[in-house]
């Protein structure tokens, strides 16, 4: 067998005349395992929040479990491994009919490293108790060289009593990417479904994923990822329209609402939704198509960045990346990442070097340290791109993610915005959190040359854009005020967001007829940029610097 490529079509060429796609299988549509009854008054039984009133030793144990796992495992251990999530999907999903005998089978692959007992086992039971027997080939657990005692003999013994569950152990720490590939290489199902090791599946989660891949073998399909609170284990499922994945120019994954053009394309509220990128943890893909696409980049270490690389590759090489509104999986988002993301930078650089063409410069401008990061050899990945005749990144930006503003980054008009009078001070903007980007004052701080909160771009529309993040913000002045604050950028720059960078380095704000000046803040040692009557002072002269 070999893959043939025709524009927009992926076909499997066989030597013999192709027969029927698949012999009808017999099997039960019931889940692999029945769900044991859980009493309604058991803790968290219906996915509701649980707040234990603890003190003394019990409180200490709960806090210790959070410190160790970044998840409230003390509570998780007291919630049934078999709880049923409340229904949180569009009611139209219940009306869907499936041809079970002709859907592909799947291997569910769950990689884990030092995961807590209850969250791992709840994930396994949840898959077995929601997946139709006829569709689930197996559950493959990949132990990425864990060293905690409960994951050794005790785990092997627990799993040996479960149908269709296999445990594979890595003999050294591989990291998420290679651990998942270990599972994929052992898988017998026609579709690979990757889940994280702290998930709970909603009723009917599997059929929509397999149905879509049955229709379109080059579709990579993600479930809607519903939040399970790390502290209370409340299931925050949402039946409304899901969000889709994007990224910003730091190559950080972002969530955003479905754009109007995609709504127009959808035939119904339960049609698949195209997504520029995936969050990475949860998706289904045809095993053959995954191999054809070059599976994962094995040069990527631990985790972080692999999701964007895979997203770019899917789209640029002829596939589609989609979210299915009828497939819901709950996921415990830990309080913070439980292990190091130190390799995420090198992984992002690999993605930029192989897939982003000249647009990688926009990434490097905003992450100057990324240029210095060793990222290994990407020759094979570039050869893969050539062999599959993948499209360029400009095509991706124009056709898949036109909502993303592409900065101009004109030479001499981006980087640190440094004051000539206070030589060591630069514009600095550090909002209290990533989700509340606007409304705060721009300050001056010692220049650090690391991009991020000191990266600004001066555009041909005379805006000063803060565009390391999404959505992009522009420096603005409120009527009658002299401070600079951040507002959302507009399609056409409003007058209060326009600054003229003049030949002599002064920043002139025409609407107020004033210039931006560096000043010490009253009663403090900190400095701020303020609007003042224009003078010839060096404190009103500014220049962009790309490097320290």
The CATH code for residues 28-36+62-357+393-399 is: 3.90.550.10
Radius of gyration of the chain (CA): 26
What residue spans of 360-477 are helical by DSSP H? 360-366, 379-387, 393-399
Outline which parts of the chain fall under CATH 2.80.10.50: 414-545
For residue 101, the model assigns a pLDDT of 95
For residue 210, the model assigns a pLDDT of 98
Outline which parts of the chain fall under CATH 3.90.550.10: 28-36+62-357+393-399
Contact 246, 254 (CB under 8 A): yes
The predicted model scores a pTM of 0.91
For residue 341, the model assigns a pLDDT of 63
φ/ψ (deg, to 5) at 57:
-60, -40
Rounded to the nearest 10 degrees, what angle do helices 344-355 and 306-316 cross at? 20
Q: CA nearest 365: which of 456, 278, 262?
A: 456
The CATH code for residues 414-545 is: 2.80.10.50
CA-to-CA separations, 423 to 133, 181, 509, 539, 540, in angstroms, rounded:
69, 51, 22, 9, 12
Convert the pLDDT of each residue in 352-398 to its tens digit. Answer: 999 999 999 999 999 888 999 999 999 999 999 999 999 999 999 99
| Structure-block tokens of residue 398 | 């124009």
Low-confidence ranges of the chain (pLDDT < 70): 1-26, 302-303, 338-342
Strands 136-143 and 106-112, sheet pairing: parallel
Q: What is the mean pLDDT of the chain?
A: 92
State how far the Cα of 402 lies from the Cα of 113, in Å rounded to an integer.
38
For residue 18, the model assigns a pLDDT of 39
């Amino acid at each position: 067998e070999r893959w043939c490529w025709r524009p927009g079509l992926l076909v499997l060429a066989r030597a013999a005349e192709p027969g029927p796609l698949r012999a009808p299988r017999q099997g039960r549509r019931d889940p692999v395992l029945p769900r044991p009854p859980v009493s309604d008054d058991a803790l968290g039984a219906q996915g509701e929040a649980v707040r234990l009133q603890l003190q003394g030793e019990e409180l200490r144990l709960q806090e210790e479990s959070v410190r160790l796992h970044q998840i409230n495992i003390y509570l998780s251990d007291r919630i049934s491994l078999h709880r049923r999530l409340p229904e949180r999907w569009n009611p139209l999903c219940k009306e869907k009919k499936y041809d079970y005998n002709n859907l592909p089978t799947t291997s569910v692959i769950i990689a884990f490293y030092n995961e807590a007992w209850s969250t791992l086992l709840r994930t396994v039971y949840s898959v077995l108790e929601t997946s139709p027997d006829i569709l689930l080939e197996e559950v493959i657990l990949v132990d990425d060289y864990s060293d905690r005692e409960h994951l050794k003999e005790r785990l092997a013994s627990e799993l040996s009593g479960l149908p269709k569950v296999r445990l594979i152990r890595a003999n050294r720490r591989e990291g998420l990417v290679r651990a998942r590939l270990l599972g994929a290489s052992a898988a017998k199902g026609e579709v690979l479904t990757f889940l994280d090791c702290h998930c709970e599946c909603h009723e009917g989660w599997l059929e929509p994923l397999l149905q879509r891949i049955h229709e379109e073998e080059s579709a990579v399909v993600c479930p809607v990822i519903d939040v399970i609170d790390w502290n209370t284990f409340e299931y925050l499922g949402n039946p409304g329209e899901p969000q889709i994945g994007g990224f910003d120019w730091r190559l950080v994954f972002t969530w955003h609402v479905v754009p109007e053009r995609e709504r127009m394309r959808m035939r119904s509220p339960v049609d698949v939704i195209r997504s520029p990128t995936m969050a990475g943890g949860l998706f289904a893909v045809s095993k053959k198509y995954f191999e054809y696409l070059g599976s994962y980049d094995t040069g990527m270490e631990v985790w972080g960045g692999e999701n964007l690389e895979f997203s770019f590759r899917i789209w640029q090489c002829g596939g589609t990346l989609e979210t299915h509104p009828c497939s819901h999986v709950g996921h415990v988002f830990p309080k913070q990442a439980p292990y190091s993301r130190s390799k995420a930078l090198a992984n992002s650089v690999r993605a930029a070097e192989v897939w982003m063409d000249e647009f990688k410069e926009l990434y490097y401008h905003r992450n100057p340290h990324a240029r210095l990061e060793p990222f290994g050899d990407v020759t094979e990945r570039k050869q893969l791109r050539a062999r599959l005749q993948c499209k360029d990144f400009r095509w991706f930006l124009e056709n898949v993610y036109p909502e993303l503003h592409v900065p101009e980054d004109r030479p001499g008009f981006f980087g640190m915005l440094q004051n000539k009078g206070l030589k060591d001070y630069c514009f600095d903007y550090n909002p209290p959190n990533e989700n509340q980007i606007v409304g705060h004052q721009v300050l001056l701080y010692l220049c650090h040359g690391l991009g991020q909160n000191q990266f600004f771009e001066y555009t041909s529309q005379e805006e000063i854009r803060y565009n390391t993040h999404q959505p992009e913000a522009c420096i603005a002045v409120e009527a009658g005020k002299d401070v600079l604050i951040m507002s959302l950028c507009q399609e056409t720059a409003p007058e209060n967001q326009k600054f003229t960078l003049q030949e002599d380095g002064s920043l002139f704000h025409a609407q107020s007829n004033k210039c931006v000046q560096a000043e010490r803040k009253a009663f403090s040692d900190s400095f701020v940029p303020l609007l003042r009557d224009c003078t010839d002072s060096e404190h009103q002269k500014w220049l962009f610097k790309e490097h320290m």
